[in-house]
Amino acid sequence: MSTTPLSLILSRLQQLAAATGRPAAQLLAVSKTQPAASVAALAAQGQRAFGENYVQEALAKIAELADLSLEWHLIGHLQSNKAELAASHFDWVHSVDRDKLVDALARYRPAAATPLNVLIQVNIDDEHSKHGCTPSQVMPLAARIAAQPRLRLRGLMAIPAAHEDPQLSLPAFQAMAALQRQLQASYPQADTLSMGMSADYPQAVSAGATLVRVGSALFGARPGKTAPAPAHN
Ligand SMILES: *Cc1c(COP(=O)(O)O)cnc(C)c1O
């Protein structure tokens, strides 16, 4: 069997699972800025779940690859005016951080679709520049989500501050794991903790991540990484 970035990361996740005694974390392939052909190539190797940051960019890929029945996760900040598109085309939204967004996603999730899987994004390092709610806002937001039949509360997501040494992210990852245990005590369906990226996913998994979001380690450096941020989110 040839080794690919995908097979290497999957075997690393297996090793980490053996070391922690927990089930292997799920791998979300972050395909932002990657062309549909790159997504199709990874899908041909068996990868099903893909993460996108920008609604507009994702819609084109979702349409182009509709035949592959992939699972699409929105992991970027979501403006309320894009909630209808997100609720109609994604399977998961990781970036729910305010009441207004909960209400909009619930309102627009099509009745014919399965409930939208929702994660609450927590700004665990309290960085002014980042999105996400505060830890104290998690339980009220969870109650609002759980009351919506068109939404399914699945857990928490975080993007802790990046550090040169990934070990320095451990306290933030551990704080998220503690929050998720609290949440799951009230909402057993909240079984997902989304955290860890290419540079720090082993640390995230050792702290309790159940889903890691990996882009550059899978696809290589992003094309257009030095280009200005897309105008549409
Ligand atoms: C881009 C991105 C990732 C993946 O980052 P890599 O460093 O390329 O693995 C994960 N999560 C979010 C929210 C992202 O925006």
CA of 169 to the centre of ligand 1 (A): 15
- Rounded Cα distance between 92 and 30, Å, is 13
215 in contact with ligand 1, CB cutoff 6 A: yes
Q: Report residue 94 as tokens.
A: 């990781």
CA of 29 to the centre of ligand 1 (A): 9
Q: Among 74, 77, 27, which Cα is nearest to 51's?
A: 74
CA of 74 to the centre of ligand 1 (A): 11
Let me know the angle formed at the C-alpha of 194 by 84 and 33, rounded to the nearest 5 degrees. 60
Summarised one tens digit per residue, pLDDT across range 50-109 is 999 999 999 999 999 999 999 999 999 999 999 999 999 999 999 999 999 999 999 999
- Give the residue-averaged pLDDT of 184-203: 98
Instruction: Write out the H or E segment, with its range, that includes residue 83.
Output: helix 83-89
Greater confidence (222 vs 138) lies with: 138
Q: Which of 31-35, 125-129, 162-166 has the lowest mean pLDDT?
A: 125-129
Q: Give the pLDDT score at 17.
A: 97
Q: Report residue 145 as tokens.
A: 């989500």
Largest CA distance in the chain: 49
Q: Give the pLDDT score at 114.
A: 98
pLDDT surpasses 90 at 222: no
Mutation choice for ligand 1 from 74, 213, 216, 225, CB with most ligand atoms inside 8 A: 213
For ligand 1, atom 13, the nearest C-alpha belongs to 75
Band of pLDDT at residue 2, cut at 50, 70 and 90: confident
Q: Give the pLDDT score at 83.
A: 98
73 in contact with ligand 1, CB cutoff 6 A: no
Q: What Rg do the C-alpha atoms of the chain give, in angstroms? A: 17
State what percent of residues in the chain have pLDDT above 90.
90
CA of 140 to the centre of ligand 1 (A): 27
CA of 126 to the centre of ligand 1 (A): 19
The model's pTM is 0.94
Q: Report residue 151 as tokens.
A: 């939404």
CA of 214 to the centre of ligand 1 (A): 6
For ligand 1, atom 11, the nearest C-alpha belongs to 213
Atom of ligand 1 nearest to the CA of 198: 9
Atom of ligand 1 nearest to the CA of 218: 9
Summarised one tens digit per residue, pLDDT across range 113-142 is 999 999 999 999 877 667 999 999 999 999
